[in-house]
Amino acid sequence: MLDRPDLYLDAFIAAGAELITIHLEPDYDHPAALNKIRDAGLKTGLAINPDTPVDLFFPYLDQVDLCLCMTVNPGFGGQAFKPYVLDKVKELSRYREEKELSFLIEVDGGVGPQHVDECLQAGVDIFVAGTSYYKANSEERAEFARSVGEVVV
């Protein structure tokens, strides 16, 4: 998470990014940042932290390709998954269906094999799994991969 992701967009665009996700919490011009990403021909994503209200997404949902619901507070790995974030995922999933939108829903933070079923039922499309995946044994990793369909390392 960057305090001012808008100041780094050119660097990520030049580096060859295909999708750039920006956090909604910092105070900067979110619409301008999204426009800059889109104007560069890239996909756009928005992220919120666990305690941020999900309705902050709503004004942008017809303009983004991805919504990331952080399931831990950004800063360091190894934190515990916050299951209450799945209520936000469910709300986003309902909104997507009602409005016939196509954005993907992603979760990141503390996500392990034991969370896959409840996340899928809530409407999650993409999982970011770091510490919990790499600390799992090979059998648990294989089960995680079977559950989510594809694992990109």
Alpha carbon of 123 to those of 21, 33, 92, 99, 127: distances in Å? 19, 27, 8, 15, 11
pLDDT band at residue 107 using 50, 70 and 90 as cut-offs: very high
- Rounded to two decimals, what is the model's pTM? 0.91
So what's the pLDDT on residue 140? 81
Which residue type, as a one-letter code, is found at position 44?
A: T
Strands 19-23 and 126-128: unpaired
Superfamily of domain 5-148: Aldolase class I (3.20.20.70)
pLDDT band at residue 152 using 50, 70 and 90 as cut-offs: low
So what's the pLDDT on residue 129? 79
Identity of the highest mean pLDDT range in 48-57, 104-113, 129-138: 48-57
pLDDT for 151 beyond 70:
no
